[in-house]
């Protein structure tokens, strides 16, 4: 059965390219040889992710899969810098994990309110006014803007809930959530499962509350991808405490102990860590209990495992307040909701150093220029030692230093690359 809940989506995002620098010359009556005055290109817009508290699914990404920010405008004469491209803000539900589609590494966990820059816009190219020197007074060239970053990413929603309600379909999880919180889940006598997680805030006392999620019913075989369960097991990952709702009424001829074990086996298959999560067992539908032996068998079984069992009837509002208090008591000593640390390390671009570079020696400065060098430098963080060492290695492997030495560069000479100057040392 297809679900209308979207909790995973793959999208392609591209930041804007930087605008090109302008080639222009100052022309004014009575001003001879006004000189170059081409302005710089504007910076491309970035792609920014922002949490939206009103979103609860990734449904918006079902049909729209490609997102691009605006390019920077080209520079103009009169040293006018082109307008920066507008950044594009993409709104996502709280709890969205952003993964690199190629490596599956976590790039960001959108659990807080801080925006995350997913793709940075390209830098604008320099206009020809930057390249005038005493010996090159009429530079007839400017630099192109750099391309913006692009990524293919997977958005994966893991609900930010303290407590997850687990259990077979139709055991009363949705009813329980509606009774203890203001959530209004769709409740019916379904034998399949809730189609998407429902969240509710449960108020306990002044200053004490917690978020409870009705996790869609796990179906046996869910950890292998059967039914709907596998798609939703990930939502329990963040929960600190699981409330295992078991139907003990016997009204459908089910064995509570067998149901309890089947759900826990699914958890274990999906994630051994999840199976170790603390649980409270809620024996539900006690108001229509047909065979008390069902309840006692479950009580003995979970007691042997060290789990507390509380008798409730969600539909009759019996025992629900005691359950809420017990949950709050247990949450007060459990660690906070998991927030996933980024694992992603941006990959260095492959450098094709085979294209020729233009090297000029002017006014005691060695000026090195070329399109691939410009692209290379856009990926270097000169404040970071490892990044500088990678840059040095890339230049060495491309034969840049060897060529400079062949042209007569000396220790202590100044080298200028794309506006970055450093002292040469052999």
pLDDT at 353: 63
The domain tally of the chain equals 3
Q: Residue 135: is its pLDDT beyond 90? A: no
Is residue 334 within 8 Å of 241, Cβ to Cβ? Answer: yes
My answer on whether 322 and 230 are in the same domain is yes
In a shared domain, residues 297 and 180:
yes
Same domain for 168 and 250, yes or no, is yes
Contact 132, 363 (CB under 8 A): no
Helix (H), strand (E) at residue 110: strand 106-110
- 330 has a pLDDT exceeding 90: yes
**Domain containing 89 — which CATH number?**
2.70.210.12
What is the model's pLDDT at position 237? 82
Whole domain around residue 2: which residue ranges?
1-157
The predicted structure's pLDDT at residue 51? 93
| Residue 131 pLDDT level (bands cut at 50, 70, 90) | confident
Higher pLDDT, 207 or 263: 263
Boundary-marking domain end, from 157, 183, 209: 157
Whether the Cβ atoms of residue 107 and residue 11 lie closer than 8 Å to each other: no
pLDDT of residue 388: 82
Q: What is the pLDDT of residue 224?
A: 53
* Average pLDDT rounded to a whole number, residues 218-244: 66
For the chain, what is the mean pLDDT? 83
Q: Using the predicted structure, report yes or no on whether residue 29 has a pLDDT greater than 60.
A: yes
% of the chain surpassing 90 pLDDT: 37
Quick one: average pLDDT of 5-19? 87
Please state, in angstroms and rounded to a whole number, the distance separating the CA atoms of residues 162 and 160. 7
* pLDDT computed for residue 33 by the predictor: 59
Report CA-CA distances (Å) from 231 to 4, 152, 196.
12, 21, 10
> DSSP 3-state assignment of 385?
helix
Q: How confident is the model over 140-150, as a mean pLDDT?
A: 84
Mean pLDDT of 172-180: 88
Q: What is the CATH number of the domain that holds 409?
A: 3.30.300.350
Same domain as 149, residue 174: no
Both 236 and 153 in one domain: the answer is: no
Are 297 and 186 found together in one domain? yes
Which of the four pLDDT bands, split at 50, 70 and 90, describes residue 325?
very high
User: What per-residue confidence (pLDDT) applies to 121?
Assistant: 94
Assess whether 146 and 185 both reside in one domain: no
Kindly report, residue by residue over 149-161, the tens digit of the pLDDT: 999 999 998 878 8
**pLDDT tens digits, one per residue of 348-405:** 666 666 677 888 887 778 888 877 787 777 777 777 777 788 888 888 888 888 888 8
Structural domain includes residue 339:
no
The verdict on 168 and 225 lying in the same domain is yes
Residue 68 maps to a domain: yes
Q: What is the largest CA-CA distance in the chain?
A: 107
* Domain final position from 113, 129, 157: 157
pLDDT attached to residue 230: 55
On whether both 184 and 307 belong to a single domain, the answer is yes
**Span 277-292, mean pLDDT?**
92
pLDDT of 188 reads 42
Token couple for 422: 């450093």
* pLDDT reading at 1 higher than 50: no
We report the CATH number of the domain holding residue 320 as 3.40.50.300
The reported pLDDT for the residue numbered 358 is 83
Question: Greater confidence, 182 or 49?
Answer: 49
Same domain, 13 and 30: yes
What is residue 191's predicted lDDT score, i.e. its pLDDT? 39
The answer to whether residues 51 and 184 belong to one domain is no
Tell which of 274, 299, 331 closes a domain: 331
The confidence band for 171, taking pLDDT boundaries of 50, 70 and 90, is confident
Q: Is residue 129 part of a domain?
A: yes
In this structure, are residues 155 and 49 in contact, taking their beta carbons and an 8 Å threshold? no
Residue 261 lies in a domain: yes
- Whether residues 7 and 148 share a domain: the answer is yes
At residue 329, the 3 state secondary structure works out as helix
Answer yes or no: is 337 within a domain.
no
Degrees to nearest 5, angle at CA 407 with 405 and 412: 55
Q: Would you place residue 219 in the very low, low, confident or very high pLDDT band (cuts 50, 70, 90)?
A: low
């Amino acid at each position: 059965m297809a679900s209308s809940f979207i909790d995973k989506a793959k999208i392609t995002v591209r930041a804007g390219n930087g605008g090109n620098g302008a080639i222009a010359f100052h022309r004014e009556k009575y001003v001879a040889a006004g000189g170059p005055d081409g302005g710089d290109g504007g910076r491309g817009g970035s792609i920014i992710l922002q949490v939206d508290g009103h979103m609860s699914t990734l449904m918006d990404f079902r049909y729209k899969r490609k997102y691009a920010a605006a390019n920077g405008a080209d520079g103009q004469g009169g040293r006018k810098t082109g307008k920066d491209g507008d950044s594009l803000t993409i709104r996502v539900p709280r709890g969205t994990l952003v993964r690199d589609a190629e490596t599956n590494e976590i790039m960001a966990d959108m659990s807080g309110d801080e925006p995350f820059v997913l793709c940075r816009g390209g830098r604008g190219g320099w206009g020809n006014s930057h390249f005038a020197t005493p010996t090159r007074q009429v530079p007839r060239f400017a630099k192109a803007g750099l391309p913006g970053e692009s990524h293919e990413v997977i958005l994966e929603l893991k609900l930010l809930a303290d407590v997850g309600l687990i259990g077979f379909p139709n055991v009363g999880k949705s009813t329980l959530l509606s009774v203890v919180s203001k959530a209004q889940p769709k409740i019916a006598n379904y034998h399949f499962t809730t189609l998407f997680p429902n969240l509710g805030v449960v108020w306990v006392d002044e200053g004490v509350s917690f978020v409870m999620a009705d996790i869609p019913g796990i179906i046996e075989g869910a950890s292998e991808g059967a039914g709907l369960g596998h798609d939703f097991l990930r939502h329990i990952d963040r929960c600190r405490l699981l409330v295992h709702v078991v139907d003990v009424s016997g009204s459908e001829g089910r064995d509570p102990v067998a149901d309890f074990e089947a759900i826990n086996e699914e958890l274990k298959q999906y994630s051994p860590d999840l199976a170790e999560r603390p649980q409270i067992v809620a024996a539900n539908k006690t108001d229509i209990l047909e065979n008390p032996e069902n309840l006692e068998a479950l009580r003995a079984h979970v007691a042997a495992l060290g789990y507390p069992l509380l008798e409730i009837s969600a539909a009759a509002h019996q025992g629900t307040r005691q359950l809420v208090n017990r949950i709050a008591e247990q949450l007060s000593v459990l660690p906070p909701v998991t927030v996933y640390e980024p694992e992603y390390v941006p990959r260095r671009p492959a450098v094709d150093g085979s294209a020729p570079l233009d090297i000029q020696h002017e006014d005691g400065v060695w000026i090195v220029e070329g399109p691939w060098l410009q692209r290379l430098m856009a990926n270097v963080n000169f404040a970071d030692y490892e990044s500088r060492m990678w840059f040095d290695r890339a230049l060495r492997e491309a034969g840049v230093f060897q060529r400079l030495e062949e042209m007569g560069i000396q220790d202590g000479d100044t080298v200028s690359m794309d506006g970055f100057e450093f002292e040469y040392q052999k």
